[in-house]
Amino acid sequence: MNETAFALDPRLAADTHAVLELPLSRALLMDDMRFPWLILVPRMPGLRELTELARDDQHALLDEINRVAHVLHAIAKPDKLNIAALGNVVPQLHVHVIARFVGDAAWPRPVWGIGERVPYTADERARVLGLLRAALAPAAE
């Protein structure tokens, strides 16, 4: 993998906290306590679409999505997981994995554009990042 020219889109960097580096992707926690929400960004420069990944990298990304989804499900125990790669606002290829609950601030609509973001407190951010890192660390090896 050529990570030399990889740079995280500044909008993603501004809205997230780094969780850890997986074999293909950087895992990020969206800074919004209303929704347990992870984002995977393949560390390859210039990607906009899933179809631009080589077949092996597509499979690797799907494996990482599955791993993150299982971890998020185990930690948050949601009613539903939303998994999406949209890119309409931030074109850099990234995949959202969002834990959803009946009665959450956006239910049953998509989370985008609903209400005001509620940033993590320092203590809660540290707690959640610790849980995620511990659960995802084996996948990062």
Full-model pTM: 0.95
Q: What angle do CA 2, 5, 8 make, to 5 degrees?
A: 105
Helix or strand (DSSP H, E) at 118: none
Tens-place pLDDT, residues 50-99: 999 999 999 999 999 999 999 999 999 999 999 999 999 999 999 999 99
Tens-place pLDDT, residues 108-127: 999 999 999 999 999 999 99
DSSP for 72-108, please give it: HHHHH--SEEEEE---SSS-S--EEEEEE-TTSTTTT
